[in-house]
Amino acid sequence: MPLTADVVVPVRNRWELTERCLAHLAAQTRAHGVVVCDNGSSDGTPEHVSASFPQVRLVELGSNLGFPVACNRGAGMGEAEVVVLLNNDVECRPDFLERLLAPFELDERLGSAAALLLDDSGRAIESFGLTVDRTLAGYPRLRGASAEEAQAVRPLLVGPSGAAGAYRRRAWEAVGGLDEGVSFYGEDVDLALRLRAAGWSTTAAADAVAIHLGSASAGHRSGWQRYQGGFSRGYFLRRHGVLRSRAAVRALATETLVAAGDAVVFSHDLTALRSRIAGWRAARGLPRSLRPVEVAFDLEIGFLESVRLRRGIYGEGRRRTSS
């Protein structure tokens, strides 16, 4: 029997995006359920969902509780064998779910699968899953490459992006879903690392294609965005014990350079530093996550390359539309 799937769409405002996302899901060739988890929208999104898509299950959180909480609550509403996370600014091809679920039916130890996200031109890769360096900093894999390069094996895949990725429910539940200690940023990287540490494999589904509307989720990086990104980095540095590992010196050097660059060159404030300290403190007393197996991170991403990639993530100011 084909595996069952629940698609979880976390949202906050931007009903026009959610409407288009749900319309694309309704046209899928593979049967599935949909759960929209609303993070306190003020534009009538819950009412619009109920009126226009009565078959969709709706979870109203009442306020903005963050991306991990919304996804965990949405996943908890279903019982399907595969949980698919999907941003509301992602538009899927009709065979998207069929292609994304296919690998799970061939391998019982497959814990996750990454979808191929293209930019709104349809010609360049926005992300094809995630990759991490030896300090466990995560980056959108193959961003900026042409769609024809999707079959490249480097950089190494660690797991799917939370913007469009599938997870076997048994694997998701075994590691506890997304870490709710952060509100935004890095939670999908952390989940990928924990799944790999628990022995689950991952794959990149090159024929599961969707458009990620960059214009809908990109803009000037706000102080809020920079704070959330820095908080997440400090939090996960401590949860994963990076500063007690062989990568400690490099991690400290990278974070110092990023925080100094933000203060002196880009934003002229101490948000990057203060947020990292706050995230580090927030993780105090929490159990250390399992150290991921070495094959999970890409040793070919050197120090200078990691700085360049980091600047790209924070410099372009991307944010989740559910924020």
What pLDDT does 275 receive?
Answer: 96
Q: At what angle do helices 223-239 and 271-282 cross, to 10 degrees?
A: 40
CA-closest candidate to residue 281, choices 226, 250, 237, 314: 237
The predicted model gives 51-59 an average pLDDT of: 98
CA-closest candidate to residue 77, choices 25, 36, 22, 31: 36
The predicted model gives 79-91 an average pLDDT of: 97
CB-CB contact of 66 with 181 (8 Å):
no
DSSP states of 231-271 as a string? HHHHHHHHHTTGGGSTTHHHHHHHHHHHHHHIIIIIS-SSH
Average pLDDT, the chain: 91
Give residues with Cβ within 8 angstroms of 171, minimum separation 6.
Answer: 111, 112, 195, 198, 200
CB-CB contact of 261 with 95 (8 Å):
no
pLDDT band at 315 (very low <50, low <70, confident <90, very high): very low
Residue 261: pLDDT above 90? Answer: no
Residue 312: pLDDT above 70? Answer: no
Residue 276: pLDDT above 80? Answer: yes
- Has this prediction a pTM greater than 0.95? no
The predicted model gives 275-280 an average pLDDT of: 97
Residue 294: pLDDT above 90? Answer: no
Q: Decide the pairing of beta strands 110-118 and 201-212.
A: parallel
DSSP conformation class of 200: -
Across 226-230, 263-267, 306-310, 313-317, least confident range: 313-317
Percent of the chain having pLDDT more than 90? 80
Residue 32: pLDDT above 50? Answer: yes
What pLDDT does 214 receive?
Answer: 65
- In angstroms, the Cα distances linking 64 to 83, 131, 148, 183, 323 are 22, 28, 38, 9, 7
Across 149-158, 170-179, 221-230, least confident range: 221-230
CA-closest candidate to residue 241, choices 182, 293, 187, 289: 289
Across 124-128, 148-152, 287-291, least confident range: 287-291
Q: What domains can be seen in the chain, in order of their start residue?
A: 5-217 (3.90.550.10), 223-315 (no CATH)
Three-state SS for 316?
coil
Place of tokens 């699968």: 113
Residue 317: pLDDT above 70? Answer: no
For residues 234 and 33, give the distance between their C-alpha atoms in angstroms, rounded to a whole number: 36
The predicted model gives 287-316 an average pLDDT of: 79
Across 57-66, 131-140, 196-205, 215-224, least confident range: 215-224
Displacement of CA 23 from its chain's centroid (Å): 22
Q: Assess whether the previous peptide bond of 160 is cis (omega < 30° from 0).
A: no
CB-CB contact of 137 with 120 (8 Å):
no
CA-closest candidate to residue 258, choices 306, 190, 316: 306
> Over the range 270-295, which residues count as b (16 or more CB within 10 Å of their CB) and which as e?
ebbbbbbeebbebbeeeeebeebeee
The predicted model gives 37-52 an average pLDDT of: 97
Per-residue model confidence as pLDDT tens digits over 97-122: 999 999 999 999 999 999 999 999 99
Residue 290: pLDDT above 80? Answer: no
Residue 318: pLDDT above 80? Answer: no
Per-residue model confidence as pLDDT tens digits over 209-248: 999 996 444 344 678 888 999 999 999 999 999 999 999 9
What pLDDT does 218 receive?
Answer: 39
Q: Compute and round to an integer the Cα radius of gyration of the chain.
A: 18
CB-CB contact of 98 with 30 (8 Å):
yes
